[in-house]
Amino acid sequence: MNPKNSKRKILIIGGVAAGTSAASKARRTDSNADIKIIQEESLVAYGSCGMPYVIEGKINNFNKLIARSIEEFKNKYNIEIFVNTKAVRIDTFKKRVYTKNLQDKKRKIFDYTSLIITTGARSVIPKIKGLSLDNQNKIKGIFFLRNFEDGVNIQNYLKNVKSIIVVGTGLIGSEMVEAFRLRGKSVIFIGNKDRILANILDKDMAEIVVKELYKNGIKVILDEKVEQILFHKSENKNSPISIEGIQTSKEKIYADCVLFGVGIKPNSEIASEAGIKLGIHDAIKVDEYMRTNVADVYAAGDCATAYNYVTKTDTYLPLGTTANKQGRIAGENAAGGNTKFAGIAGSAITKIFGLYVGKTGLNKEEALKNGFDPVEHTIEDITRAGYYPDNKKLWIKLIADKKSRKVLGAQIVGGEAVKGRLDLISFALLKHASVDDLKNYDACYVPPVSPVWEPINIAAAQISKLLSRSTVIKH
């Protein structure tokens, strides 16, 4: 409890999604608290998920991604922000954070009553010959996309680029190949797995998306590992090193620029050094109140674990939605609240040219690993009445547990109306609904927006039949 007449000091390390959500909610919870944010970058509260759409030209200015300025936080919410400031050590016994200004190198100590760690995550630098932590920023034509500055640098470099290799076939890579192609670039998309979007789609569903990529001029290379960066030879030792291409396990590929999107890792070292416990993937372990194992220390966002309400286990799924929700809970509780975070189902969606692609819950492999006896079924349908113009195709893969008949997850790919259906199934997962619930729910219908038989009802009805058979063929 905060002593009577003593102002609560809430200190937040990190000022993007989770950090600013935490600060805003803390202010609404305690109007009298002293709230400060320490931010390593020069900007706060920007929507990093929007960066591919600025690069492709859909949004005409990176500044449009900034939700609130530093001045607005100060003048409207009385939240003080220290930018270009790196937290270097946390002393949880004295309740202090030691910092260094990255511009003037001055040191400063911040005291706190409650501390919220929202340090985010950073790009994984793959172990490739010619690429290291020391030289990644010194090579012309090599990029990672994680923060605001990364996005601006990529945008500026594209002016003199004709060909680009995107390494890593996850969400970042998938969104960026479209952005580059819409800018008129020749794009090669390469990954070391047997499919794209491996954390979202099974191979059969991923193949639908690969066809869309080919249709839009993207060359897709799978099951190849990048082994080396190729450089242009220069007789002048003082000239910048520039990239020529890459060497994979099978071939040399030449391009003007390479973007790596092979994953991210949580910035949790400062927490670990302070005795704060880490969990899965070295993310900061938190409970449903976003508390760490250390009193009065909370964590949220891309640096923290998240509870999965399907598997009932901790997971690490760094997404903007999770960061904002966790930040909100952490901010409220750090300011004296007592609210629980409900958890996540692993819901994710992206857009790739003419398709929307998403997943919620588990796929069959994940279900098996978590002790379920899964059955899966895929349907192909349409998004509007058959006679209505501009119909789009829709593929739904539903996964359910044989014993309990509970829905376990879904993957959906389609030309429209994907998010709403995924959200419905995510809610079904939250409520531990059965396939019979999904089969019987009353869906809306009008020809411009849906067929008379809702595709979710159909998918659930068909998998219900599979579950009802005395013997289910496992495949």
- Please report the pLDDT score of residue 132 as a whole number: 78
Q: Is the sign of the CA dihedral 129, 132, 134, 138 positive or negative?
A: positive
Residue type, 176: M
Bridge partners of residue 9, in order along the sequence = 34
Q: Which of 326, 341, 338 is nearest to 20 (CA)?
A: 326
The residues annotated as belonging to the active site are: 49
State the greatest distance between any 2 C-alpha atoms of the chain, in Å, as a whole number: 75
> CA torsion angle for 230, 235, 239, 245 (degrees, to 10)?
-10
- Please report the pLDDT score of residue 235 as a whole number: 63
Burial state string for 77-114 with b = 16 or more CB within 10 A and e = fewer than 16: bebebbbebebeebebeebbbebbeeeeeeeeebebbb
The DSSP annotation for 274-340 comes to TTPPB-GGGPBP--TT-B-SSTTEEE-GGGB-EEETTTTEEE----HHHHHHHHHHHHHHHTT--PP
- Please report the pLDDT score of residue 133 as a whole number: 67
How far, in whole angstroms, is CA 83 from its chain's centroid?
24
- Please report the pLDDT score of residue 137 as a whole number: 67
- Please report the pLDDT score of residue 5 as a whole number: 60
- Please report the pLDDT score of residue 206 as a whole number: 98
Contact partners, residue 421, CB within 8 Å, separation at least 6 = 396, 410, 412, 455, 456
How far apart (Å, rounded) are the C-alpha atoms in residues 453 and 443?
Answer: 8
Vertex 18: Cα angle to 15 and 21 (nearest 5): 90
What are the start-end ranges of the H helices in 107-234? 148-157, 171-182, 203-215
| β-bridge pairing 34-38 and 114-117 | unpaired
- Please report the pLDDT score of residue 138 as a whole number: 73
| β-bridge pairing 139-140 and 241-248 | parallel
Residue type, 305: T
- Please report the pLDDT score of residue 475 as a whole number: 37
Domains, the chain: 9-121+264-334 (3.50.50.60), 125-260 (3.50.50.60), 354-466 (3.30.390.30)
Cβ(458)–Cβ(443) below 8 Å: no
Please count the CA atoms within 13 angstroms of the CA of 366 that sit on its side-chain side: 24
pLDDT in tens, the chain (475 residues): 455 568 999 999 999 999 999 999 999 999 999 999 999 999 999 999 999 999 999 999 999 999 999 999 999 999 999 999 999 999 999 999 999 999 999 999 999 999 999 999 999 999 999 887 666 667 889 999 999 999 999 999 999 899 999 999 999 999 999 999 999 999 999 999 999 999 999 999 999 999 999 999 999 999 999 999 999 877 666 667 889 999 999 999 999 999 999 999 999 999 999 999 999 999 999 999 999 999 999 999 999 999 999 999 999 999 999 999 999 999 999 999 999 999 999 999 999 999 999 999 999 999 999 999 999 999 999 999 999 999 999 999 999 999 999 999 999 999 999 999 999 999 999 999 999 999 999 999 999 999 999 999 999 999 999 998 844 444 3
How far apart (Å, rounded) are the C-alpha atoms in residues 188 and 177?
Answer: 8
